């Protein structure tokens, strides 16, 4: 009798596995949606809309971008976490994905357990810009000035725990510089405050600052990534300016609900990889201030683990909170 139940259980298990395999083999056979946990117009949204036509071509199905802003990016990502793990709902993770577990009072999902990484799509470098009235011309002078005048430098961002805020907190953490963060409702408001000398410094996305840099309304000190930015080839990196190994960028990655079959994750990764290799996509992403990256799901998993480790320390030191 016991053997009968064991055989029946094994048969049911086999049917379940075959069902999963069959679904993976057929994938995709309907529209795929990409959840962007931010309002339209930001870098995450722009990048996904640039890539969607190529992804649709590679996958043979419509790929639609759906904005679900709010909750510091947790509302949209919670939709992804609780979606069926069948490859038809993708989520856009970024810097806040790695920081939120430490800045949020309560998370609606488990960042590590509820998602499966697919692909690191790209990175958005930031540039350290200052108002010309601030008497510094490079990163060394900035650090010295900030240490000697701990209440003199305000830096603005698009809000608490936004990428520019976190970049500033990381800069303070590794250099010992003392600055005051001023959160605004948008990056545009933060830039306006900097131009008006209400704030003195900003860690800005390159495209949003480049016109003011070229018109000498803002002074660029350094780029936050290890490599210089092709839009500002004359501007050194923070690392080259003496803060060794400083490497920070807003990033854009694709994740799916945990439990998504490996063949489907692989198929999605292949589609993103091919889309990112197309010259026209690379050119358009570059214009949007994003460096195409790519790589395997394992690469993104390792990157997310590194981000979590970094922001756990920095957020605690800077006492960054979102209630």
Please list, in sequence order, all residues whose beta carbon lies within 8 angstroms of the beta carbon of residue 10, skipping any fewer than 6 positions away.
none
291: β partners: 123
Which runs of consecutive H residues, i.e. helices, occur in the chain?
2-26, 43-59, 74-81, 95-103, 139-148, 163-175, 187-195, 206-214, 262-277, 279-287, 297-318
Instruction: Taking the CA atoms of 312, 316, 317 and 318 in sequence, report the sign of the dihedral they define.
Output: positive
pLDDT at 16 over 70: no
Nearest to 181 by CA among 195, 202, 196, 197: 202
Alpha-carbon span 231 to 278, nearest angstrom: 20
Alpha-carbon span 201 to 142, nearest angstrom: 10
Question: Which residue spans of the chain are classified as CATH 3.40.190.150?
Answer: 2-20+31-124+249-318
Nearest to 119 by CA among 88, 146, 93: 93
Query: Within 13 A of 322's CA, how many CA atoms are on the CB side?
Result: 22
Dihedral angle of Cα 298, 259, 162, 316, to the nearest 10 degrees: -80
Mean pLDDT over all residues of the chain?
92
pLDDT for the residue 88: 98
Q: Give me the phi and psi of 260, to 5 degrees please.
A: -65, 130
Q: Which CATH class is domain 125-223?
A: alpha beta
- Provide the pLDDT confidence category of residue 207 given band limits of 50, 70 and 90: confident
pTM for the structure as a whole: 0.87
Alpha-carbon span 75 to 62, nearest angstrom: 24
pLDDT for the residue 282: 97
Alpha-carbon span 108 to 94, nearest angstrom: 17
pLDDT for the residue 151: 86
pLDDT for the residue 72: 87
pLDDT at 61 over 90: yes
Task: Decide if 95 contacts 250 (C-beta within 8 A).
Answer: yes
Element holding 117 (H helix, E strand): strand 115-130
Nearest to 122 by CA among 47, 179, 188: 47
Question: Which residue spans of the chain are classified as CATH 3.40.190.10?
Answer: 125-223
Q: Which fold has domain 2-20+31-124+249-318?
A: D-Maltodextrin-Binding Protein; domain 2 (3.40.190)
Token digits of residue 51:
């890539």
Specify the DSSP class assigned to residue 249.
Answer: E
Specify the DSSP class assigned to residue 29.
Answer: -
Instruction: Taking the CA atoms of 208, 214, 220 and 225 in sequence, report the sign of the dihedral they define.
Output: positive
Nearest to 131 by CA among 178, 198, 214, 195: 195
For 68-119, the pLDDT digits (tens) are 998 889 999 999 999 999 999 999 999 999 999 999 989 999 999 999 999 9
For 106-164, the pLDDT digits (tens) are 999 999 999 999 999 999 999 999 999 999 999 999 999 999 999 899 999 988 899 99
Q: Lowest-confidence range among 218-227, 252-261, 264-273, 285-294?
A: 285-294
Which single residue is written with the structure tokens 């993103």? 272
């Amino acid at each position: 009798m016991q053997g009968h139940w064991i055989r029946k259980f094994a048969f049911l298990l086999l049917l379940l596995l075959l069902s999963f395999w069959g679904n993976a083999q057929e994938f995709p056979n309907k529209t795929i949606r990409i959840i962007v946990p931010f309002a339209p117009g930001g870098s995450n949204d722009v990048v996904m809309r640039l890539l969607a036509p190529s992804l649709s071509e590679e996958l043979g199905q419509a790929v639609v971008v759906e904005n679900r802003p709010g909750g510091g990016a947790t509302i949209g990502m919670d939709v992804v976490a609780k979606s069926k793990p069948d490859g038809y709902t993708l989520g856009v993770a970024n810097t806040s994905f790695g920081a939120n577990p430490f800045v949020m009072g309560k998370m609606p999902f488990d960042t590590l357990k509820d998602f499966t990484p697919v692909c690191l799509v790209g990175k958005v470098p930031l540039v350290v810009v200052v108002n010309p009235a601030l008497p510094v011309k490079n990163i060394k002078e900035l650090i010295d000035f900030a240490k000697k005048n701990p209440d003199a430098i305000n830096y603005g961002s698009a809000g608490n725990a936004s990428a520019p805020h976190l970049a500033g907190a990381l800069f303070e953490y590794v250099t010992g510089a003392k600055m005051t963060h001023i959160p605004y409702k948008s990056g545009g408001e933060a830039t306006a405050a900097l131009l008006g000398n209400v704030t003195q410094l900003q860690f800005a996305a390159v495209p949003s600052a480049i016109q003011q840099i070229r018109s000498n309304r803002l002074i660029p000190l350094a780029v936050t990534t290890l490599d210089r930015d092709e839009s500002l080839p004359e501007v050194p990196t923070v690392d080259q300016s003496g803060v060794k190994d400083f490497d920070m960028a807003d990033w854009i990655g694709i994740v799916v609900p945990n439990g998504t079959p490996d063949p489907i994750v692989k198929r999605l990764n292949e589609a993103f990889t091919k889309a990112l290799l197309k010259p026209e996509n690379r050119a358009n992403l570059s214009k949007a201030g994003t460096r195409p990256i790519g790589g395997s799901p394992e690469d993104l998993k390792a990157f997310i683990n590194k981000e979590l480790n970094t922001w756990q320390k920095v957020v605690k030191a800077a006492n960054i909170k979102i209630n």
